[in-house]
Amino acid sequence: MIPENEQYWLKNAHIPRCLLEKKDFIAATQEGLCLVDLEIKQGRINKITQGDSNQRDSISIDLQKKIIFPCFIDVHTHLDKGHIWQRSPNKTGTFDDALETARKDAQNSWTAEDLYRRMEFGIKCSYAHGTRALRTHIDSYGEQGFISLDVIKTLQEKWKERITIQAVSLVTLDYFQTPEGIKLADKIAEIGGILGGVAFPHLDLEQQLDTVFELAKERNLKLDFHTDETNDPESRCLEQIAKAALRNQFTEQIVCGHCCSLSVQKPEIVNQTLELVKAAGIGIVSLPMCNLYLQDRTPNKTPFWRGVTQAHEIKQKGIPIAFASDNCRDPFYGFGDHDGLEVFTQAVRIAHLDTPYQDWCTSVTKTPADLMGLPTLGRIKEGISADLIIFKARYFSELLSRPQSDRLVLRQGKSIDTSLPDYSELDDLLKL
């Protein structure tokens, strides 16, 4: 369908207005979809005009209102844990058993080869679905952590022309109080990564956070925390992180993932926390599929709570909020395929982001790109690489009702092979 020519037009596409950098387009639908023509020239978006323009000087393809998105940005993943479910299932589905099962799998199986093949399998899935950049958290304790970080560094280099990959350390914050934690911070700086960890309620949490902020400031590192992944209303680590950011006058980007306990706290506590989060310039990442899976899980009991954070309230405060894949086919989430559309579709259903859809589609494109410091990705504007996804769907109700497995993915204006890797590629690792 897409020509190999260096110059052509994609005509009569439906593009969400919020994803267009030029805001002078008239929305063609109540959902905010604009009828737009795009000229692709030498791999870039050369011109963007109102739909059904009279351009006749090159090849054109009439998309007949098919929706175009920029390529997805997946800001929170766990590639190192991915695709181990068949050898290490979480039979209870609980968070505690997920932790223990993943720990045992790492002890028994996480060689450099095992990590490389499973992580690249996840990257291949992401690429085929249309992801342009992703951030992965890497379990980073001791020598095992250094092995994993070296593997992701190798994969970053191999895939750099196709996917931007960012690596984040993942340890509990007390680890940074030790000499090993300082070595880890140095390693993260060496590979150009992001300093990160899990914040738990603790008497020493304030001191732990001050140490992490100091390590990050000394090395000019950004920060990314796992925060309040629980239904305990007394878990207020997000509030403590925001206070620490202000106390330490931290100016680099901070991202906090999960923030589930916000949804079970009193409104005045939530408001107080979000005011601090906004003042500190923190971005929030919600992981709707994994948290739906883990939170409020008790054997033989129907769940009551959806597990996600207060997405609407966060957005209403003017705080950036993104949605991301999180875990895929591992003890923390037994499903998933690194697909940004599945993330968005499930977020719409779980968090009621529909009617009106407003600008929620930026939560898997433009917003995470900004949080990752990638200002030319996740949007559609003149002069940038034509990294686009063309769906057969014409309206959001169509887009979110089918998997859109027949989507076209363009990279630098050319179609890529969207074939997914076969699960059998990992059979020998999983001993199947």
Q: What is the mean pLDDT of the chain?
A: 96
- The reply to whether 383 and 293 lie within a common domain is no
pLDDT of residue 52: 77
HSE, CB side, 13 Å, CA atoms: give it for residue 415. Answer: 13
User: What is the rounded CA–CA span in Å between residue 345 and residue 366?
Assistant: 16
User: For the segment 73-99, what is each residue's pLDDT rounded down to a tens digit?
Assistant: 999 999 999 999 999 999 999 999 999
Residue 343 pLDDT class (50, 70, 90 cuts): very high
pLDDT of residue 190: 96
User: What is the rounded CA–CA span in Å between residue 235 and residue 339?
Assistant: 31
Q: Which of the residues 31, 229, 239, 342 is marked catalytic?
A: 229
Percent of the chain with pLDDT over 70: 99
- The reply to whether 346 and 383 lie within a common domain is no
pLDDT at 27 over 80: no
* Any domain includes 322: yes
* Any domain includes 98: yes
pLDDT of residue 25: 77
User: For the segment 112-130, what is each residue's pLDDT rounded down to a tens digit?
Assistant: 999 999 999 999 999 999 9
pLDDT of residue 26: 77
CATH number, position 44: 2.30.40.10
- The reply to whether 350 and 259 lie within a common domain is yes
Q: How many folded domains does the chain comprise?
A: 2
Query: Edge to edge, what strands does the sheet with 72-77 contain?
Result: 72-77, 131-139, 164-170
pLDDT at 175 over 80: yes
Mean pLDDT of 43-50: 95
pLDDT of residue 355: 87
Q: Going by C-beta distance under 8 Å and a sequence separation of 6 or more, which residues neighbour residue 337?
A: 125, 129, 328, 420
- Is 229 marked active-site? yes
pLDDT of residue 55: 62
